Amino acid sequence: MGNRIITISRQFGSGGRTIGQEVANRLGIPCYDKELITNIAEESGFAKEYIEEHGEATENGGWLAGAFARDFNGHSNQDTIWFAQCRIIRELADKGNCVIIGRCADYILKDREDLDLMRVFVHADIETRAKRIVEQYGESNVEPEKRLRDKDKRRAAYYQIYTDQKWGRCENYDVCLDSGTLGIEKCIEIIVCMY
């Protein structure tokens, strides 16, 4: 079997990023998260801040918001980011064992029979996630539950547009973990054990 890749998809505030980073640390393999943003920005020509905001979620207002903002090839800015993201994720998977957080890596790599791929989805109840985002990101003028619903809605729409699959459905992943029930540490242990 080829390189062993773990993809971590996650609900906003579930701790998926923390889990992925610590899994990579314990396994002694690279974790690609913020590095992806830098690479995508370099390849696409967009600013890192733009990629951070638009690289995993639809524009506010959904697909229709960007429907008319197309280049002469019929591609939107988001399409350009998607193409760069796909190339970079495939290249990283070819380099060696790693953890890739978000950015539809589970879908992008799903048909790669040359890889030993584990697709993980991390979720939690809204109360746990609301508490976590306030602790992690601080207070906001928008209530935590609304921030969560908005971010998840945009991620789900983005996933649907580019994968034609429903984000968060257990059929699309090999492992689904409830970090609210299990806790962050147990989720890390489970993934490391399965690796």
Domains of the chain: which residue ranges?
Answer: 4-194
Contact indicator for 10, 103 with CB cutoff of 8 Å: no
What's the whole-model pTM score?
A: 0.87
* Three-state SS at 175: strand
Which tens digit of pLDDT belongs to each residue from 95-111?
Answer: 999 999 999 999 999 99
Structure letter (DSSP) for residue 172: G
Edge-first strand order for the sheet with 116-123 is: 31-32, 98-101, 4-10, 116-123, 175-178
Of 12-16, 61-65, 162-166, the one with minimum mean pLDDT is: 61-65
pLDDT of residue 57: 64
Greater pLDDT, 105 or 58: 105
More reliable by pLDDT, 166 or 34: 166
Specify the pLDDT at position 74: 61
Average pLDDT along the chain? 89
Domain 4-194: give its CATH superfamily.
P-loop containing nucleotide triphosphate hydrolases (3.40.50.300)
Q: What is the DSSP letter of 58?
A: P
Q: Render pLDDT for 65-89 as a digit per residue (tens, 0 to 9).
A: 444 454 556 678 888 889 999 999 9
- The residue written with tokens 């029979």 in the block is 113
Containing 161, the helix (H) or strand (E) segment is helix 144-163
Q: What percent of the chain has pLDDT over 90?
A: 70
CA distance 35 to 16: 16
Determine which of 16-25, 93-102, 149-158 has the lowest per-residue pLDDT on average.
Answer: 149-158
Please give the DSSP secondary-structure letter assigned to residue 190. Answer: H
For residue 58, what pLDDT is reported? 64
